[in-house]
Structure 1
Amino acid sequence: MNSKFMNFLENMLLPIADKLNNNRYLSALRDGFMVALPLIIFGSIFVVIANFPFLDKMISEEAFTAYQNALGPASAATLSIMGVFVMIGIGYKLTEHYGGEAIYGGVVALAAFLIMTPQVLDGVSGVIPTSVLGAEGMFLGIFTAFISAELYRYFVKKDWTIKMPAGVPGAVSRSFSALIPITLTLTVFLLIRIIFSYTGFETVQNFIYSVIQQPLTVLGSGLPATIIAVLLIQVFWFFGLHGQIIVNSVFDPIWYALNDQNLSAFQAGTELPNIITKQFIDSFLVGMGGSGMTLAVIILIFMIGKSRQLKELGKLGAPAGLFNVNEPIIFGLPIIMNPLILIPWLVAPVVVTLITYFAMYSGIVPPPAGVIVPWTTPPILNGFLATGNAWQGGVLQAFNLLVVIVIWWPFLKILDKNYYETERKEAS
């Protein structure tokens, strides 16, 4: 690999990646999703259980409806309103970053969002539609969390607080100290709501959805943008940076919104609207041994590996790789800054993205059903669950693994030969 080209990539990408990785807003966004992730997975598990394959054929229609109704609150109280948990997490983490009382950053973010949310449904006041608390309201929730945390921090920094005398319990003192900053912050959002009520958009939700969320969602659901995102993940990893964290910080709000649309359609029994979703990336790319689908590399090591280094690496990486943990391969092969494997590292995920997309576009394989499958779920089972318990999803993952093995074969053969010859020289 040309050293000038490698230096060019390194000089161009590393500063960008470093800035993205250390950006406080992207970090808070990433950590906010991590706060919500256990709840999202809980809801997704019960969506899978509620739609267990062939169960509707095994019991009566009334029994099946009662069964689904009994399990429904699990996803309705978590997955369907995941925006609430994400915005609390963002407000909490951003305020924590500034060294403030993080819990107040979280609750003021939620309160600010609710102030701007119309509490009317079908003419009945005092009712909040759950749809705006989920992926539909995600973008507004994200912006609200950022702005509210910044305003809260600004007012605290100005020392516009109530000082309680010594001897007052700490919880009481902190509560009164947060009173004025929270009041001023929420007043700003109340004014914003009033101003928008006099515009053609009527609500902030309508403005965000029309001007920002809808165009970005259309872009993020397309194949070209997905391929770019996948390539960036691989390139960042090649230079030793966590590509998923960096790229997902930007794309996750879009992919989760698309995921939620599919989940609603899946639960309603209607056609799934999107192919590209959060689970498309997580199951059919990351969910096959980790970033770069390195489970295929481990399988290939057992098939053709002769060098002691690769054999030992295969034994070490196999148990973790089966559950999509691939740090042993990334750092042990190594993948980072290794020009011998740059081509398969970049090409294989793009090829698999194209195969998966067109398999789903043609109807051979169902699109992801919107359920969030735990990222440690082994391949085959992962694809089965992600597609709403469709066997085609598991078969597609198996086929993709074979494709990755074929792409990697000549490059791993060269690498293994180099290691083997080096070991022989050292031994002699």
Structure 2
Amino acid sequence: MNNLMDKISEKIMPLANILGENRYLKVLRDAFMLAFPMIMFGSIVVVIINLPFLNDTTQESLSFLIGNGENATMAVLTMFVTFSIGYYLSKSYDVEGIYGGAVSFASFLLLTPFNMTSESGEEISGVLSLDRLGAKGMFVGMIAAFLAAEIYCRITKKGWQIKMPSGVPPAVSKSFAALIPAIITLSVFLLINAVVVGIFTTNLHDIIYELIQQPLTGLGSTLPATLIALFLVQFLWFFGLHGQIIINSVLDPIWNTLMLENLEAFRNGEELPHIITKAFMETFTVGIGGSGMTLAVVLIMMFFMKKKQYKDIGRLGVAPGIFNVNEPVIFGLPIVLNAAILIPWVLAPLIVTTFNYFVMSAGIFPIPTGVQVPWTVPIVASGILATNSWMGGLLQIIDLLIVMVIWYPFLRSLDRNTQEAL
């Protein structure tokens, strides 16, 4: 068995390292992390406005008074992401990041229609629609930001810059150095928009949304795709690789977009369109003890295992486990490269996620509203906040019990075998 694991490790490690060190995936991950404080702030505002014990009049008043807290953060998330992509990609090329971010953001706006149709059918010009700055514009924003930053950095690296004398203040010198690369990059996007609008009488937002974003988000919201992603996360962690960072860097843009679409529907009092979202993944997988839902594991080790070594690991792991930090049990049990517990490690998240998907689709338990709860919020509290219902907390408790049932026989067997070996 160990030889088989070694062979698999030899094959999987190089591929995982390539993914983990990929420039564009790292930039995408960092871009969403930069936007994370804004997402949290917006989520807190949405939770306050929609507290379940408030009546409709109070909720409307709160929405009028503090609703801009969500409009200025989560509703325009694409703005922060496009700037962040340009910033971090430029930094990765050792180019001034602030100008790369500004050029990427401006390039995205060049592709964005400055008009919208009112509910009465009237065409209004000189305005930006929130949906194009949020969920609907996410993919065109990411594509534009990456492309703009690449063009800007390549031109800068070629030395096509205006160099100022040494006595000029640094801020002025950097601004002139960015002038030619910025003008060329923005001209490219202005030309692209002119071609799309002039020849095809549409805009790139609608084209990308129809051809790329809808199919990808449709695929990402399915149960099979989610189970494959979870399997890969668990499988990579088994070999000591941070599966979440590797896999989530690919899927986070899709899950975040689905989350924003749910939030928009929730704010409008409409039926929530997606079960699988970023909030679902964090609340009903990571939110139950970290990757692999290991809060159940430390509880079994504390209360049901006899060997002192395991009891001690359980005691040490329970406090961080409540806040969904599970490295103590992953490396202390250990879970990494421990073939005796590979089955529950991989199987438990898949079974629980499948169960959650079907009970939510059947309407038995509520779907996450689109509010993103920090992944460190303890079980029950995170479920209530994510779904705006105490039923979300109850579902997490049921999930915990399911994981305990799956893990128990394997941990008891491990405990017995260890005692016999002694």
Task: Give, in angstroms, the shift of residue 225 of structure 1.
Answer: 0.5
- CA deviation profile, 1:69-89 (whole Å, cap 9, x unmatched): 112111110011111111111
Q: Are residues 1:256 and 2:256 paired? A: yes
Identity %: 52
In 2, the alpha carbon distance for the partners of 1:363 and 1:71 equals 31
CA distance in 2, matches of 1:172, 1:312: 60
Q: Does residue 244 of structure 1 match 2:239?
A: no
Alpha carbons 1:309, 1:419 under 8 Å: kept: no
Question: Cα distance, 1:340 vs. partner?
Answer: 1.0
Q: Give per-residue Cα distances to partners, 1:82-111, cap 9 Å, x unaligned.
A: 111111111111111111101111111100
8 Å CA contact 1:308–1:420 kept in 2: the answer is no
Q: Does 1:132 align with 2:128?
A: no
CA apart distance, 1:143 = 0.9
Task: Name stretches of at least 5 consecutive residues in structure 2 with no aligned partner.
Answer: 118-122
Shift of 1:201: 6.4
Task: Give the Cα–Cα distance (whole angstroms) in 2 for the partners of residues 363 and 62 of structure 1.
Answer: 27
State the alpha-carbon separation in 2 of the partners of residues 419 and 74 from structure 1.
55
Alignment equivalent of 1:88, drawn from 62, 70, 83: 83
Cα deviations by residue, 1:118-139 (Å, 9 ceiling, x for unpaired): 1112222221111111121111
Map of 2:11 onto structure 1: 12
After superposition, the Cα gap between the structure-2 partners of 1:420 and 1:258, relative to the gap in structure 1 and judged at 3 Å, is same
1:181-200 to 2 correspondence within 5 Å?
181-200=181-200
Is the 2:302–2:312 contact (alpha carbons within 8 Å) kept by the matching residues of 1? no
Q: Who is 1:276 aligned against?
A: 276
Matches of 2:220 and 2:309, distance apart in 1: 41
What displacement does 1:323 show?
0.6
In structure 2, C-alpha distance between the alignment counterparts of 1:169 and 1:224, rounded to whole Å: 57
Q: What does 1:334-349 correspond to in 2, within 5 Å?
A: 334-349=334-349
User: Which amino acid is 1:49 matched to?
Assistant: I
The 3-state SS of whatever aligns with 1:121 is strand
In structure 1, C-alpha distance between the alignment counterparts of 2:415 and 2:93, rounded to whole Å:
49
Structure 2 Cα separation of the partners of residues 91 and 415 of structure 1: 50
Deviation at 1:34, TM superposition (A): 0.3
Residue in 2 that maps onto 1:113:
108
Partners of 2:59 and 2:286 in 1: how far apart?
34
**1:49 deviation in Å?**
0.8
CA distance in 2: counterparts of 1:48 and 1:113, whole angstroms: 30
Match of 2:72 in 1: 77
Query: For the residues of structure 2 that align with 1:39 and 1:411, how far apart are their CA atoms?
Result: 42
8 Å contact 1:285–1:292 — kept in the other structure? yes
SS at 1:9 equivalent: helix
Preserved contact between residue 296 and residue 401 of structure 1 (Cα < 8 Å): yes
- Who is 1:55 aligned against? 54
1:357-376 alignment runs, 5 A limit: 357-376=357-376
Q: Secondary structure at the match of 2:237?
A: helix
Deviation at 1:419, TM superposition (A): 4.0
1:199 Cα shift? 4.2
**2:59 is aligned with 1:64:** yes
Structure 1 distance, partners of 2:382, 2:10, is: 37
Q: Residue 285 of structure 2: SS of its match in structure 1?
A: helix
Residues in 2 aligned to 1:321 and 1:378: alpha-carbon distance in whole angstroms = 9
**Secondary structure of 1:197's aligned partner:** helix
What displacement does 1:248 show?
0.9
Amino acid at match of 1:104: Y
- How far apart, CA to CA, are the structure 1 residues paired with 2:288 and 2:130? 34
Cα distance between partner residues in 2 of 1:205 and 1:199: 15
Q: TM-score, normalised by structure 1?
A: 0.95
SS of 1:124's partner is strand
Contact 2:255-2:278 within 8 A present in 1 as well: yes
Between the aligned partners of 1:171 and 1:244, the Cα distance in structure 2 is: 39
Matched residue, 2:387: 387
Question: Normalised by the size of structure 2, how large is the TM-score?
Answer: 0.96
Query: What residue in structure 2 maps to residue 34 of structure 1?
Result: 33
Alignment correspondent of 1:23: 22
The separation in 2 between residues aligned to 1:199 and 1:254, in whole angstroms, is: 30
In structure 1, the gaps of 5 or more residues are none
Letter aligned with residue 73 of structure 1: N
Task: Map Cα deviations across residues 341-399 of structure 1 (whole Å, 9 max, x no partner).
Answer: 110000000000111001101100011100001111101111111112x1111111000
CA deviation digits over 1:23-48, x for unaligned, max 9?
00000000000000011011001101
Query: How far 1:171 sits from its partner (Å)?
Result: 1.0
- Summarize deviations over 1:139-197 as a string: whole Å, max 9, x none: 11111111111111111111000111111111111111111111111111111111111
CA distance in 2 between partners of 1:200 and 1:225 (Å): 34
Equivalent residue letter for 2:8: L
Residue 316 in structure 1 maps to residue 316 in structure 2 = yes
Mapped partners of 2:72, 2:115: distance in 1: 20
- Structure 2: how far apart are the matches of 1:420 and 1:83? 55
Aligned counterpart, 2:405:
406
Aligned to 1:417: 416
The SS at the match of 2:180 is helix
Conserved 8 A contact 1:283-1:383: yes
The CA deviation at 1:8 is 4.5
- In the alignment, the residues of structure 1 paired with residue 12 and residue 196 of structure 2 have an alpha-carbon distance, to the nearest angstrom, of 40
**Partner residue in 2 for 1:44:** 43
- Counterpart-to-counterpart distance in 1, 2:255 and 2:199: 30
Q: Secondary structure at the match of 2:371?
A: coil
1:4 Cα deviation from its structure 2 partner: 5.0
Determine helix, strand or coil for the equivalent of 1:369.
Answer: coil
Could you give the per-residue CA deviations for residues 255-289 of structure 1, whole angstroms, max 9, x where no partner exists? 11111111111111121111111111100011111
Taking the aligned partners of 2:273 and 2:396, their CA distance within structure 1 comes to 21
> Matched residue of 2:52: which SS?
coil
| 2:290–2:324 contact (8 Å) kept in structure 1 | yes
Partner of 2:325: 325
Is residue 382–residue 394 contact of structure 1 (8 Å, CA) maintained in 2? yes
Question: Which amino acid is the alignment partner of residue 115 of structure 1?
Answer: L
